[in-house]
A and B are shown apart, each in its own frame.
Chain A
């Protein structure tokens, strides 16, 4: 386990961050396997995005989760709770050992995040689209407080079929929320199939631009590209990072499919998945050396 504390101002250590993303995947996989429920596909696609937020960009104080000037991270796609919880615990919001209680009766690690139960969770989420709206309200509030804190909101792609997301987008543009960044995990699969089939979102970049956002398209598995996009500031305009990702990224048989949106691996599949992610961790460790 990496104990390095990564200060935002430092030159990012891309290899270490890449390794953290893979280790979070392994944690998430084990949580889902143990709980016999949970969402692997959308957790894995978001691994690098969550890693860049929690271990590079955001100013947080896990010792004092209610610190007034903390950056706010809203995980609107609440079904990626496994990777989210793995990141929160690694960041120090709660003990890592508690990850094994995911989806167990009495656990603070609910099926979808509950802000009243788990430190670090800014807003309870799960019902899709709501996080976008909360993020806009929070960004308005922080600006009114003259706070330097920034607001980040992780959205799924299927989630942006919800009308509230576009209500929130209009509002963010109206108020010129330069302290707001939406990060769209565009893994192209939703629960029942391919996004392009279920309800096409394209032309996505133009849609967000026309709603008043500055859009930055990145490879959502490239820590370097994500960080570069996160660091690009525009004080007068909300930002959307359109992260091209692969659903189930990191486990060959889970990739680019809706089948693993909410499926649990069998013991054989689990063994193979652990091996594959283990190789990725080794590879990122090797390139760091």
Chain B
């Protein structure tokens, strides 16, 4: 059964964090005056002694997280995505990535999901930063079921993790019996003529696009690469080898994120007609979330058109 209730992904994270805190006594939470936004307030209420608020001080947020890990705890460090990778960028690199500490960085407000606050509060480059940091595991969550499933796995993984969440209203898309594994892509539709590769809440749009394509007689595979790093090259190459037509869809700059990762993999191993759907190297603006996605090239129709285009390109490649 899929739960069709629409709610913000961050709210589910807040609930799942409380469950994790009850199940795992080594988990501690650090926030930077953002508990209202990151939804860590529930954890604070249940486990006040394991919750630390460092105030509006993101560099110290990261440093305190690293220090807690040295003392043997499993810190979950929370704030806006852009602050974590930019304001706290050097502590992130030096104390978490380079020092390979067991710090879990939970990035709220991924992509355009802080829409009304405007471009300064929207994270369009965070995945490019963390993907280029050695030792990091990078995970992007798409729905409530996945957040609840992945959180204990993130806690159990020995090493630094960047988990990107969203403030967006999301409806569950995964069946309750779906099993996720960090580092392994999840196939949601298989056997298509074209492969749609995606992660994050935009997965809902990708599935809608796949239905439209199916109605037009073009079955599409949908591969969810929730773990951006380490990239599941095997699953991506297998799909690309079969369809020879790939579209990546992400709520991120097309530079440095999922589209880049897949392009790099395919260019080196299996050059394949490919289109990247995402933010085309520009800043967003204030506006309703869904409208921003449409306006900045991440509409359902954009995905459908890109799929048809790569199929045309595949056709011309094959006929040459």
Show the binding face of A for B, using Cβ within 8 Å: 68, 72, 114-116, 122-127, 129-130, 132-142, 144-145, 147, 163-164, 167-168, 170-171, 174-175
Contact = CB atoms under 8 A, between A and B. Distances in A.
A171 B50 contact: no
B71 interface: yes
A137 B283 CA distance: 35
Given A123-B70, A168-B63, 4 more contacts: A123-B95, A133-B67, A164-B59, A167-B59
A274 B190 CA distance: 73
B100 A116 contact: yes
A171 B57 contact: yes
Contact of A139 (B65, B67, B72, B98): B67
B64 A136 contact: yes
A133 B99 contact: no
A116 B70 CA distance: 12
A114 B71 CA distance: 17
Contacts of B90: 127, 130
Contact of A137 (B50, B68, B94): B68
A139 B60 CA distance: 14
A139 B63 CA distance: 12
Given A127-B90, A130-B91, A135-B67, A141 B62 contact: no
A249 B63 CA distance: 31
Interface of B: 28, 30, 49-50, 52, 54-55, 57, 59-60, 62-73, 75, 90-91, 94-95, 98-100
Contacts of B49: 144
Contacts, number: 110
A167 B49 CA distance: 21
B252 to A, nearest CB: 27
11 contacts: A123-B99, A127-B94, A133-B60, A133-B95, A136-B60, A136-B63, A137-B68, A137-B70, A140-B68, A164-B60, A164-B91
Contacts of A134: 63-64, 66-67, 70, 95
A116 B98 CA distance: 9
A122 B72 contact: no
A147 B70 CA distance: 13
Of listed A116, A125, A141, residue having the most chain B CB within 10 A: A141
B71 A137 contact: yes
Nearest to B55: A170
B134 to A, nearest CB: 11
B193 to A, nearest CB: 47
A115 B70 CA distance: 11
Nearest first, the 7 A-B pairs at minimum CB distance are A137-B67, A133-B63, A141-B71, A137-B64, A167-B60, A167-B57, A138-B67
Nearest to A141: B71
Given A140-B64, A168-B60, A145 B71 contact: yes
Q: Which of A114, A127, A130 has the most B CB atoms < 10 Å from its CB?
A: A130
A126 B95 CA distance: 10
A150 B309 CA distance: 63
Contacts of A114: 98
B7 to A, nearest CB: 32
A96 B74 CA distance: 34
B63 A116 contact: no
Nearest to B32: A167
A167 B71 contact: no
A5 B98 CA distance: 34
B35 to A, nearest CB: 15
A127 B30 CA distance: 22
Contacts of B66: 123, 133-134, 137
B52 to A, nearest CB: 6
A203 to B, nearest CB: 23
Contacts of A140: 52, 64, 67-68, 71
Chain A CB within 10 Å, residue with most, of B64, B66, B69, B91 = B64
Contacts of B57: 164, 167, 170-171
B11 to A, nearest CB: 27
B16 to A, nearest CB: 22
Interface centre among B69, B71, B72 (most CB of A within 10 A): B71
A171 B64 CA distance: 9
B188 to A, nearest CB: 38
Contacts of A72: 70-71
B95 A167 contact: no
Contacts of A141: 28, 67-73
A149 B94 CA distance: 25
Contact of B65 (A68, A137, A174): A137
Contacts of A123: 66-67, 70, 95, 99
B99 A116 contact: yes
A145 B68 CA distance: 10
Nearest to A133: B63
A164 B62 CA distance: 10
